[in-house]
């Protein structure tokens, strides 16, 4: 995308985006553009909806209650929705927001909170997580918003895990070795990655996971990583070796 578009606000919307169309935003986004960002008639905004790429638009009306935008031109082709599944044991509020943000930045397609034995929280405000994912997508300029699933227990997750998807397990008990070979062997497969809680998996959970034929344990190095660091580190090596860094 040309550098000049980089400074424009980007908003995720649901309607179709087509040439010559006009779109009126809902109250919340209108207020954000007109009152918070103080955009006026003639100012430009980028829209995306996960289907039609990114569009350059111009304000036709700057009413705080309902901003209307004229679609000018498509400035980015839609990229395929990511197939990368990302599961993690949720943390408390701020750190949870941060992990969602990092997962979006790193190109996860599905974000799945997983409740394990040593998980800190068990009830999540799903709408809040979705809002965070949308905001993160807008800010890091991805062209679709990952699906944020409602939380699920580890048990239920494994009971319903599709046999054709590999599950990369970031396991602190895995002897330190480079994940390069383990990951390269997964080229062409559908993959997911599961990051355990900061307290680790229980012995039972670990034994159960390691016994599953689709589980691929990898080490994330010899140091203890916080949950958000582990998220980025794991997604980075996966995306770099077998994901969309090519």
In this structure, are residues 182 and 246 in contact, taking their beta carbons and an 8 Å threshold? no
Of 43-51, 114-122, 124-132, 217-225, which part binds a second copy (CB under 8 A)? Answer: 217-225
The span from the CA of 42 to the CA of 224, in Å, is 51
Closest approach of a second copy to the CB of residue 172, in Å: 11
Closest approach of a second copy to the CB of residue 165, in Å: 22
Task: Show the site string, 69-88: x = touches a second copy by CB under 8 A, - = not.
Answer: ----------x---------
In this structure, are residues 227 and 195 in contact, taking their beta carbons and an 8 Å threshold? yes
Residue (of 99, 159, 164) closest to 133 by Cα position = 99
Closest approach of a second copy to the CB of residue 88, in Å: 15
Interaction of residue 108 with a second copy, rule CB under 8 A: no
In this structure, are residues 182 and 134 in contact, taking their beta carbons and an 8 Å threshold? no
How far is CA 145 from its chain centroid?
A: 7
Interaction of residue 224 with a second copy, rule CB under 8 A: yes
DSSP 81: P
* Helix ranges (DSSP H) in 148-243: 154-159, 179-184, 203-211, 227-242
- What number of CA atoms fall less than 13 Å from residue 179's CA on the CB side? 27
How far is CA 89 from its chain centroid?
A: 15
Q: Which of 90, 107, 146, 196 binds a second copy (CB under 8 A)?
A: 107
In this structure, are residues 242 and 186 in contact, taking their beta carbons and an 8 Å threshold? yes
Closest approach of a second copy to the CB of residue 234, in Å: 8
How far is the CA of 108 from the CAs of 53, 112, 216, in angstroms? 18, 10, 18
Q: Which residue, 140 or 152, has its beta carbon nearer to a second copy? A: 140
Q: Which of residues 168-197 bind a second copy (CB under 8 A)?
A: 176-180
Counting every residue written for the chain, the total comes to 246
Of 25-33, 37-45, 205-213, 216-224, which part binds a second copy (CB under 8 A)? Answer: 216-224
Q: Which of residues 114-143 bind a second copy (CB under 8 A)?
A: 140-142
Of 23-31, 70-78, 115-123, 220-228, which part binds a second copy (CB under 8 A)? Answer: 220-228
Of 12-20, 28-36, 41-49, 99-107, which part binds a second copy (CB under 8 A)? Answer: 99-107
Q: Which of 102, 158, 166, 192 binds a second copy (CB under 8 A)?
A: 102
Contact set with a second copy (CB under 8 A):
79, 102, 105-107, 140-142, 176-180, 219-226, 229, 232-237, 239-241, 243-246
């Amino acid at each position: 995308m040309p550098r000049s578009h980089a400074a424009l606000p980007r908003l995720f919307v649901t309607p179709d985006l087509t040439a010559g169309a006009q779109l009126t935003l809902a109250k919340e986004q209108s207020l954000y553009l007109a009152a918070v960002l103080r955009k006026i008639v003639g100012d430009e905004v980028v829209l995306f909806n996960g289907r039609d790429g990114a569009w350059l638009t111009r304000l036709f009306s700057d009413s705080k209650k309902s901003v209307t935008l004229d679609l000018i031109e498509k400035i980015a082709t839609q990229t395929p929705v990511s197939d990368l599944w990302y599961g993690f044991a949720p943390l408390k509020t701020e750190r949870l927001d941060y992990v969602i943000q990092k997962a979006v930045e790193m190109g996860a397609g599905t974000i799945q909170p997983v409740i394990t034995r040593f998980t800190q929280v068990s009830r999540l405000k799903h709408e809040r997580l979705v809002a965070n994912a949308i905001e993160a997508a807008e800010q890091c300029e991805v062209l679709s918003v990952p699906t944020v699933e409602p939380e699920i227990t580890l048990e239920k997750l494994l009971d319903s895990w599709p046999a054709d998807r590999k599950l990369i397990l970031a396991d602190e008990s895995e002897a330190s070795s480079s994940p390069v070979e383990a990951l390269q062997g997964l080229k062409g497969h559908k993959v997911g990655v599961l990051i355990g809680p900061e307290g680790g998996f229980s012995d039972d959970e670990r034994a159960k996971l390691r016994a599953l034929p689709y589980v691929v344990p990898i080490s994330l190095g010899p140091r203890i990583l916080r949950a958000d660091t582990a998220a980025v580190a794991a997604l980075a090596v996966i995306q770099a070796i077998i994901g969309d860094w090519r």
